[in-house]
Chains A and B, each alone.
Chain A
Amino acid sequence: MTVKTKATTTRRGAMRALTGGIAAASLPMWARYTHAQSAAPIRIGFQQHRTGIGAAYGRWYGRATEAAVQLINEGGGINGRPVEIVAEDDGTDPKRGAEVVEKFANQHKVDVGFGTLFSHVVIGSAPRAGELKLPYFVVSEGTHVASGMLNRYTLQPGITDVRSQVISMAPFITDTLGKKVTMIFPDYGFGYDHRDALGPAIEAQGGEILERIAIPPTETSFTRYFPRIPRDTEVLYHVMVGPGVLTFVKELGEFFGGQGPELFGFIDSLEAVAIDSPGLEFLEGSHFWEGMCRHAQPDDSEHAAAYRAAVGVDDRGAALSDARDVSTYGHMFGCWETLHVIKAGMEAAGYAGPQDRAALIEAVEAMEDMPESLAHPQGAKRFNGRTHQVFGHQNISRVEGGRLIRVHRTSIEDTLYPDMVDYTAQPF
C-alpha cells in the first residue's frame, strides 16, 4: 500500500520555511563570523554605574560602550566572533560591585569584565576578579592600579590615571598662570591623589603650595572654606566631584565676583554639566584639564571627529538628540579605547575562550605604543605592561565665550612617573 502525502502547507512547515528565509536574508551579517572556530559571541561583562553617585558617568559610559561594540561588530567582531555586552548595575557600591563580578564570572560566564569607574568600586571588586581569574579592565583614572594595590588580573589600558594627569599639569600652571598655588579638593581618596601628586610637581617647577583646603564629602555649602584661601594666591586649583559640585562652583564665583586669582580646575567638577549654565559665567577665562576635549576643536583629528559622531555627541559635547543632556566627554573615551585594547589583546593572544585568559593578559602586558587611530581617538598612548597602566596626552582648555578651547596639549613624556609595581612578576 502506498501512502500519499498531501502537499499542504502546515504551520510547522511554514515556520521552518520562514526561519530558513530569515537566515538566508541575514547571510551577509553572520557570514562575516563563519571563519571563526566558534561563532559564539565574545561576552564582555560591563560593570555599569547605572544608579548611585556615578549614574551620570554610567549613562555615558554605556553609550560609548554601545558605540564601540557596534563599530567592532561591523568590522567583523573579535577573532571573527561578535561581541556581546552583558551589563549589570553595581549601584556605585563596592559590595554590589564584588557581587556583580561574581555574577559575571559564575553566572553570565563572560570572557572579561570591564568598565568600572569609581575607585572604591574598583578596589572592592578587584580582589574577587583576581580570585575568580577574570580579566578586569577598569576605566577609572584612579592610581590604585599603578600603585600595586590590586592584582595581575586588573588592568587600566584605556584611560590615564590621576597622578600622571596632575604631574603633567604642573609646568603649565607655574609657567602660565602663577607659582603660588592654593588647592581645594575633596577630603577623601580622589582628592588625596591630587594633593599628593601636585605639591612635589609644583615645587619641582619652582612654585609652592600655599594652602591645601580639604572639603569633607558630606559638605553642602562651601562658602566658609573660601576665606582660608591666602590673599597672595595666584592660582586656585580646584577639583570636586559628587552632587555638590555645581553649588561649589557657583559659590566660588559668588565669593570672588570675578576678581580672584587664576582658576585651574579638573573637568571632573563639571562633567555632565553645561559650561554655559546660569551662574557659571565667572568661569570665563579659567582653565580646565580635560582627558578629551568636550567641545570640538578646529584641529581635531579625523578619528576624534568620527568618534564624536559615533557616540552621538554634538560639537558642544551634548547628546545629538537632546542638547541639555551633556556628556562626560572628558572620561568616556576610556570605554571606547579599552574595548579596542581588549579586541587587540584577544586577537594577539588567539583568544578562544576562558582557558586563554592568562594569554590575553600577557598579550595586553606586551603592548607598548598605541598610535592615534579610530581605536584611540583621544590620541596616542603608551602602555606600561608592568604597572598595567596606560599613559597619554592631556589637554588644557580655556573657557572663552562659553566654549572650552584647547590651549595646551602635553606630551606623553610629561605624564610618566617611576614604576611602583611589577604585576608581571605575580603568578596567574
Chain B
Amino acid sequence: MRVLALHLGLLAVLGALHFALPAYHHGNLARVMVLASYGIGYNLLFGYAGLLSLGHALFFASGMYGAGMLVQHGGAGAGAAMLAGTVAAAAVAGLLALVALRTRGVAFMIVTLMFAQAGYLTILYFGDWTGGDEGFVMAQAGQMLGGIDLGTPGARYLAALALFSACLMGSLALARAPFGRVLVAIRENEERARMLGYDTQAHKRGAMILSGAISGAAGAAYAILFGYVGASFAEVQYSILPLLWVLLGGAGTVLGPFVGALFMFYLIDLASGVTSAYMLIAGVALVLLTLYAPQGLMGEVRRRLWRGLP
C-alpha cells in the first residue's frame, strides 16, 4: 500500500507541477518524463533481468522512425504513429533477441552494440527515406491526436505524463508480478532459476521485447511531441545515456530511471551554464556516485531507509 502511494504520489506531484512550473521547467519536465520512460524500458532489461545492453538506441530509434516515417510517407496521425513506433521497436527487439540472447555477458554487450551501429548506418544508407543524418521535421498531422495538437506546451506535458504514468505503473506491476520476480531470479543466478523449472530463455526474450517496446514507445513519443526525427538518436551515446540514468537512479528500482534522468538532465543543464566542460562535471558526479552510492540514488534509499522499495 505504501509502495502504491509513493508511486501514485509522484504522478500526482507531476500532475500538480503542470499548473505550477514556469514555462522552461515545464518543458524540461515533459522531456525528462519521455526520457525516463526510455530509462524504464532499459531498466527492465538491465535492472531486473541483469542483461547489460549497449544497443538500446536501436529500439529508441526504431520507435522514432516507425512513428516518423508513417507520418512522413503515410500521412498518419499521432495515435497510429505511436502504435506503429511501439510495434516496430518490439519487432526489432524480438529479432535481435533471437541472435543476442545466444550470448551472455560481454558478448551480449558487443552484439547489441554492433546491431545498434548497424541500425544507425541503415538509417544513413536509406537517406532518401529517412532523411539521413539530417533527419526530418514531423509534419503537423503527426502531432494531432483526436483534434488535440500535441505540439502545444500543455498537451505535450500531459501526453508525456500519460506515457510516463503508463510506463511507471506498468513497471511497478511487472516488478511485483511473477514474471518480474523470475527476471530478478535470472539476474541473481540464472542456473538456479533454470534448475527450479523456469524457462529462462523465454523470460529473457519476453523482457527484451517488452524493454524494446517501452523504449520504442518513448522514441515514438519523442518524435511526436518534439517534432523531430534524426539519426543522431540512433548513435551510441543514446545507448549509453539510459544506462547512466539507470545507474544513477538505481538499477532494479522502479523510480530509479526517473530520478536518474532528472538528475542528469539538470546536472548538464546547470553545468553547461558554468563551463563548456560540462561533461567533465557530469563525469565527476558519476564517479562520486559510483564511489559513495554504488547502487544509485534510489538504491541507497532502499538500502538505508526502505528495504521493501521495489
Residues of A within 8 A of B (CB): 50-51, 88-89, 93-95, 98-99, 102-103, 105-107, 119-120, 123-124, 126-128, 131, 142, 144, 149-150, 187-190, 192, 216-218
Contact = CB atoms under 8 A, between A and B. Distances in A.
29 contacts: A50-B276, A51-B276, A88-B273, A94-B228, A95-B233, A102-B27, A103-B24, A106-B23, A106-B24, A119-B133, A120-B134, A120-B135, A120-B231, A120-B232, A123-B135, A123-B137, A127-B137, A127-B138, A127-B151, A128-B226, A131-B152, A142-B134, A150-B137, A187-B125, A188-B127, A188-B134, A189-B132, A216-B121, A217-B124
Given A120-B231, A188-B133, A217-B124, 16 more contacts: A51-B276, A99-B28, A99-B269, A102-B24, A106-B22, A106-B27, A120-B133, A120-B232, A123-B135, A123-B228, A124-B228, A149-B137, A188-B124, A188-B127, A190-B134, A216-B124
Interface string B210-241: 00000000000000001110111100000000
B134 A189 contact: yes
Contacts of B273: 88
Contacts of B269: 99, 103
Nearest to B228: A124
A302 to B, nearest CB: 36
Nearest to A188: B133
B133 A189 contact: yes
Contacts of B152: 131
Interface of B: 22-24, 27-28, 31, 121, 124-125, 127, 131-138, 151-152, 226-228, 230-233, 269, 272-273, 276, 278-279
Contacts of A95: 232-233
B127 A192 contact: yes
Closest 4 CB pairs of A and B: A127-B227, A106-B24, A189-B134, A188-B133
Contacts of B127: 187-189, 192
A128 B227 contact: yes
A93 B269 CA distance: 14
Contacts of B133: 119-120, 188-190, 217
Contact of A218 (B121, B151, B276): B121
Nearest to B241: A95
Contact of B278 (A89, A93, A149): A89
B238 to A, nearest CB: 8
A150 B136 CA distance: 9
Given A50-B276, A94-B228, A127-B138, A189 B131 contact: yes
Contact of A98 (B23, B136, B151, B226): B226
Contact of A89 (B125, B131, B272): B272
B142 to A, nearest CB: 11
A109 to B, nearest CB: 9
A120 B276 contact: no
Nearest to B23: A106
A127 B228 contact: yes
